[in-house]
Amino acid sequence: MMDLSSRPKEKLELNKLQKRLRRLTGQAIADFNMIEDGDKVMVCLSGGKDSYTMLEILRNLQASAPIDFSIVAVNLDQKQPGFPEHILPAYLEELGVDYHILERDTYSIVKEIVPEGKTTCGLCSRLRRGSLYGFAEEIGATKIALGHHRDDILETLFLNMFFGGKLKSMPPKLLSDDGKHVVIRPLAYCKEKDIEAFAVMKEYPIIPCNLCGSQENLQRQVVKDMLQKWEVEFPGRTETMFSAMQNIVPSHLADTELFDFKGLKQNPDALNRLNIISL
């Protein structure tokens, strides 16, 4: 981290950012009961700004939390060409964090299966998820923490609406399909711009993704640009949209599985009362 001792303004801004990220992360953890006493939390560390920030804030909360939980950082080395294998071990050893580097050559699999020019994210994420789930079971992790933030969750909502025909997103807490793993997203309430500013000030050794990060015109990037444009034109709009995800009214949508529209009928008692009043 940069030395801010002689730069009080930057130090103040860093402290404000850290307090805000810590408060929002703590609130998300409490709202969704993400971490419980005795949990072993596997923090998935990619080398990007989000996962670095998540690890930092969780360690910060761990020091003062009223419950006891452990943290183990896990990086999935996907054998991408030029991947700097030394960076994360050096960083984590300096912090004194328990960690594992999981080596899986998913890069070759993705490049072999996905045609040139096509989006690799779908297959890559499935392979990555399978590897991490299996390793979490191997080390006895009770929670798997991912670094997705509020903007990721909103982008996924619109991606599913525009391209999947579903009203769903990334939940802050998720049970895997086989029921074996609980996935948590502690940064669910945090804004990407705050995380980005925090990461710059902390001078994290960012590792770019050469597999998907270099792809242009991804659907997610298009949606991200749309949301950012909306936020510039109408400040606060993305915050309102995220609030909407927490205030769902099934009776005013159109999913017959969530609300019994077929059984919706007039209430005779209400009609009788209305008739009596009108008399």
**44 annotated to a ligand binding site:** no
Domains of the chain, residue spans? 8-275
Summarize pLDDT for 92-101 with one digit per residue, the tens.
999 999 999 9
Q: Residue 191 CB: number of other CB atoms within 10 A?
A: 19
Q: Mention every residue, 6+ apart, whose C-beta is less than 8 A from residue 192.
A: 50, 149, 150, 151, 152
Average pLDDT, the chain: 88
Summarize pLDDT for 113-142 with one digit per residue, the tens.
666 655 656 656 777 777 899 999 999 999
Summarize pLDDT for 169-217 with one digit per residue, the tens.
999 999 998 999 999 999 999 999 999 999 999 999 998 765 554 454 5
Q: What is the mean pLDDT of residues 81-88?
A: 86
pLDDT at 23: 97
**190 annotated to a ligand binding site:** no
- Taking alpha carbons only, the member of 237, 152, 245 closest to residue 190 is 152
Pick 8-275's CATH classification: 3.60.20.30, 3.40.50.720, 3.40.50.620, 3.40.50.300. 3.40.50.620
Q: What is the mean pLDDT of residues 214-235?
A: 84
Terminus-to-terminus CA distance in the chain, angstroms? 77
Q: What percent of the chain has pLDDT over 70?
A: 84
Specify whether the CB–CB gap between 78 and 106 falls below 8 A: yes
Query: Residue 206: in which H helix or E strand, if any?
Result: none
pTM over 0.75: yes
